[in-house]
Amino acid sequence: MSEKGLLLVISGPAGSGKGTVVSDLMRTYKGEFALSVSCTTRTPRPGEKEGIHYFFIDREEFERRISQGKFLEYAQYCNGNLYGTPMDYVQNRMDEGISVILEIDVQGGLQVRKNYPDAVLVMVAPPDFQTLEARLRGRNTDSEEDIRNRLLRSKEELAKLSLYDYAVINRDRESLKAAQEIHDIVLAEKRSVKRCPDFAKKFYGEE
């Protein structure tokens, strides 16, 4: 019932086709979705624009924002840089009626759930293990060890599916079906009574 945007976490192991699904969603439903813009402590690469690709801030400022609870989730990557999703940017988009997509891993998704329980968590999953393995091997760019590591990590991610809200099986990476299903999920969630408990009150507000 709410016509505000939703916060939509989209996760999925390597080989799930999650990236394509997110592009399909952005392209097919123009104006309905926005990608979140992250804060990072790393230095901008040539061509990267403040507020478009990232918000570039220094470590001191990043740590201050952590202590102020201003991130929906954050993580430190191997290179030592911090990356985080700023609550205020996401909230502003949602207030404009735009649903914000966070394409992050399960660990990040569960951090978001904790900090913003109204988020909708969607896992994009391959139809089965064989397909996942075939997709990873089909890339032909990764070493056997890399492939094994990715398969192991995929297992770990999918094992946490029960903590997510929806699972969308991406059978055919060429079709728009998975993106359409996520679009349906967003509509359904907007009609969910738990998102607008005071409808009956509003309904009679003018009496």
> Which residues of the shown chain bind a copy of itself in the complex (CB under 8 A)?
1, 123, 125, 128-130, 155, 158-159, 161-162, 164-169, 181, 184-185, 187-189, 191-193, 196-197, 199-200, 203-204, 206-207
Q: Which residue, 142 or 165, is less far from a copy of itself as judged by CB?
A: 165
What tokens does 105 get? 């891993």
The Cα–Cα gap between 111 and 107 comes to 6
Q: Are 127 and 24 in contact (CB under 8 A)?
A: no
Q: Which residue, 8 or 39, is less far from a copy of itself as judged by CB?
A: 8
Residue 97 beta carbon to a copy of itself: minimum distance, rounded to whole angstroms:
16
Q: What is the dihedral of CA 37, 42, 44, 49, to 10 degrees?
A: 10
What tokens does 130 get? 């064989």
Q: Which residue, 39 or 168, is less far from a copy of itself as judged by CB?
A: 168
Burial 147-161 (b: 16+ CB within 10 A, else e): beebbeebeebbeee
Q: Which residue, 88 or 206, is less far from a copy of itself as judged by CB?
A: 206
The Cα–Cα gap between 185 and 82 comes to 31
Residue 121 beta carbon to a copy of itself: minimum distance, rounded to whole angstroms:
9
Residue 99 beta carbon to a copy of itself: minimum distance, rounded to whole angstroms:
14
What tokens does 44 get? 């901008």
Residue 89 beta carbon to a copy of itself: minimum distance, rounded to whole angstroms:
26
Residue 11 beta carbon to a copy of itself: minimum distance, rounded to whole angstroms:
12
Residue 182 CA to its chain's centroid (Å): 12
What tokens does 177 get? 């079906």
What 3-state class would DSSP assign to 82? strand
Q: Which residue, 72 or 123, is less far from a copy of itself as judged by CB?
A: 123
